[in-house]
Amino acid sequence: MWTEVSVLEAVNLNMIESLKVEKLEDYGWALVAHGVKKSYVIYYAGDKIEPVIERLEELVRELNKENRVIVTTQT
């Protein structure tokens, strides 16, 4: 079984190296956190990319606010 994880928690634990929006066969457009050892599906929205981008932007804001990491977005 897979599960959603709290990104803030995962970042805190140094489990995540990057966040990417990717198109996956089993989820469609998804926000994927790539970790040192594994990758995690954080959010997915099927055929639609906009909700995934929104979620990414939300996370970037949260992460910047917490000063945990310096986050930049790239298109």
Partner 1 sequence: MPKLKVPVSLMVLDYLDSRPSGFTFSIKELMDTLGLPASVRASVHRIINDALDEHLVEKLSFGWYQITKEPKVLSLDEMQGKKLKIPLPFNLGFKFDLYPGAIVLFIALPGKGKSYFAVNLCKFWAERGFALDYYFCEAKESIVDRLLRMTSEGFWVNKDVRFIEIENPSMRMRDDSRNRIVIWDWLDLTAQYHKVPLIMRRMQKDHKSLIVIFMQGRPGEEGIMPFGKLGGLHPVSVAFAITHDEKDKRKEYPILKVKKVRDSSWFCEGDEIYLKFDSSTGEIKPLDIRSRDELKKLITGEITEEDLYGAPDQDGIPF
Q: Which residues bind partner 1 (CB under 8 A)?
A: 1-5, 9, 13-15, 24-28, 32, 35-41, 44-48, 50-51
Considering the complex, what minimum distance in angstroms separates the CB of residue 23 from partner 1?
A: 11
Whether residue 51 contacts residue 45, with contact meaning beta carbons closer than 8 Å, is answered with yes
Q: How far is the CB of 66 from partner 1 (least distance, A)?
A: 18
Q: Rounded to an integer, what distance in angstroms lies between the CA atom of residue 26 and that of residue 42?
A: 13
Distant-in-sequence contacts of 47-53, Cβ < 8 A, 24+ apart: 49/21, 52/21, 53/21
**In the complex with partner 1, which residue's Cβ is closer, 45 or 60?**
45
Work out how close the CB of 26 gets to partner 1 at its nearest, in angstroms, rounded to a whole number.
5
